[in-house]
Structure 1
């Protein structure tokens, strides 16, 4: 990942992602009395495992780290990726360790066999490194296909994408929306969606990558993240992991009497 990769933004790619939104869905069912917020970190740069976790913990909150185990310890435009000890420390502190494929593959372009194999590799690495079993997933690059959704629906309770939106009753948990804290206007955009979530008593998922004083174009500074979390707490949000949000948004299965 030394060179930033861009998912397919062609007309075909846009149509594929739009088609994916209407198949293999898992509709959310929510009855919230206060808005929910999930703060998530993709790819797990060490800066996110360090500064990102520390900020959440100062507020008594926990977040979700989407891990591609094949990247551990490598270097990229996002900085150095967390090593196994850092990821185990996150889990020990109560943060969620979730799946992002093993090699950060593009699930929009990959075949079903490639996607399933890469998920198996990540699961094996999680077991080998004594990470908790992943309950949720995030699509690398936010790229989605119908066949990817079919595979992921059978393996995870929820899968996070990158299109903007809130999670309310009826939202597809297998292609859940999220808002990035990235770029020059990342803080302003996140604040807008915080206000919308309050107005609708909805669940908002934020994401970023590195958390550094001089972040990449896909990251944010510690100060920005701290201000957003502080503001969310003041606005009355309950901050939960992605897995916990998915648990609350998943209808209970009622067993019929024999």
Structure 2
């Protein structure tokens, strides 16, 4: 487990870092060039623009949305996974859950259904990382589309794979990407795709024909298909599926005139809701109530003098999460405790109301990247985009841009620091709450290790961690501790 004994230097490091360009500008283009740089950016959650801007989907408008997240802070085994659970789309959620659980079990070496210990047992070591993130493609009317992007650095090649998942509310069933196409038009689709691919670098025409000849494997081969805002269809192929591995990923973009005659009834509804999305999503769920949002308002500026009293900074990573973050805010209000939340951008976009509640209650909202990648493994542009995109989401929710960021896994180097003006924050008390889902153990760790000016690492995505907070607040308050934000603690040092 990573420890951070040299905390004070990191606390005192202020924002004097240079900002580089915001994002990678590689383009797939209408002709469907391979665009491997753009695809790598997508795997990191750094594709140009936010999901709302690209797809017209605002996840905060999906009633009852639950983002299912998990992550570790193990320096030798880094993983962060997330997928959306939308009321009514239970079969689709179950399919994504099965995939994510299986990939994580394989990555950790626990086997199917095994209990994760956060330890890599496959020998992948410190260079390993698994990141699974999501993007809404369509969420309108009675159709829902989600892309899961998986980056597994322990795999051969680029380790990147993408799959789209679909739900048909009218039929009440999950569908594959291939089901966007009518059964009797799939041969025509293959012909159109092959025509686009032939002649590209890394493509062998005879091998291509053989690849598409296996009709039983067509659903797996064509598992990432995305309708575009102009009515076309974008099809993406993982590395080493239709061309030589060295050529990377391939993208085919088919125009509306070609695609429309090929669509199934479901595909036509998806196309219609993509081109002209409605304001509501109805998948037939009996109810999709939104969790109550705390309404506490801070009573002025925190005047705690940390030079005179014992202060401690509790920090919570990876949220916001519903309903866990809301419950945590209620606990904190009871003790007038202020903390720092290091939020993940895709969760901010899904639950901006919880981030507003955090800020309104006097807590500090920091940046924890868009989808929790190891920033040291990214390019400067990708790092900047991960952080800039998240900062923009936080500012949209609260009206104030963050000044602090916590690098996922505590992984930070000169390249990361030079890519942002945000100031990095690490920790010196690690509860390991991501590993031990035990409220009593988490509370005991904080209470035992707490010292003046400590920065404590916790996660508000875990119900067990949130449940540990009342005991922490009660016991440490009795010992004379005051709970302040990281910035407040820094100001006193």
Shorter chain as denominator, the TM-score bin is: 0.5 to 0.7
- Greater relative CO (CA pairs within 8 A, separation 6+): 1
- Verify the 8 A CA contact 2:315 2:341 in the aligned structure 1: yes
Q: TM-score, normalised by structure 1?
A: 0.66
Aligned to 2:444: 188
Partner of residue 56 from structure 1, selected from 309, 332, 340: 332
Aligned to 1:121: 389
Extract unaligned runs of 5+ from structure 1. Answer: 15-30, 75-82, 162-175, 250-258
Structure 1 residue 49 displacement after superposition: 2.2
SS at structure 2 position matched to 1:56: helix
State how 1:105-184 maps to structure 2 within 5 Å.
105-152=373-420, 154-156=421-423, 159-161=424-426, 176-180=427-431, 182=433, 183=436, 184=438
Deviations 1:22-74 (A, max 9, x none): xxxxxxxxx83332111221122223421111111100111111112223466
RMSD: 2.9
- Verify the 8 A CA contact 1:43 1:100 in the aligned structure 2: yes
Deviations 1:173-203 (A, max 9, x none): xxx4342262243222212212xx1xxxx31
Deviations 1:192-242 (A, max 9, x none): 212xx1xxxx31122322366xx3xxx5242x2101111111111121011
Structure 1 residue 11 displacement after superposition: 6.2
SS at structure 1 position matched to 2:454: strand
Task: Kindly indicate whether residue 481 of structure 2 is the aligned counterpart of residue 237 of structure 1.
Answer: yes
CA distance in 2, matches of 1:119, 1:137: 8
Partner of residue 459 from structure 2, selected from 199, 204, 209: 209
Higher strand share: 2
Partner of residue 97 from structure 1, selected from 346, 351, 365: 365
For this pair of structures, how many residues does the alignment match? Answer: 197
Task: Kindly indicate whether residue 342 of structure 2 is the aligned counterpart of residue 66 of structure 1.
Answer: yes
Bigger radius of gyration: 2
Q: TM-score, normalised by structure 2?
A: 0.36
Aligned to 2:223: none
Extract unaligned runs of 5+ from structure 2. Answer: 1-66, 77-123, 129-305
CA distance in 2, matches of 1:129, 1:12: 36
Aligned to 1:17: none
SS at structure 2 position matched to 1:50: helix
Aligned to 2:471: 227
C-alpha distance 64-3 of structure 1, shift in aligned 2 (>3 A)? closer
- Verify the 8 A CA contact 1:91 1:132 in the aligned structure 2: no
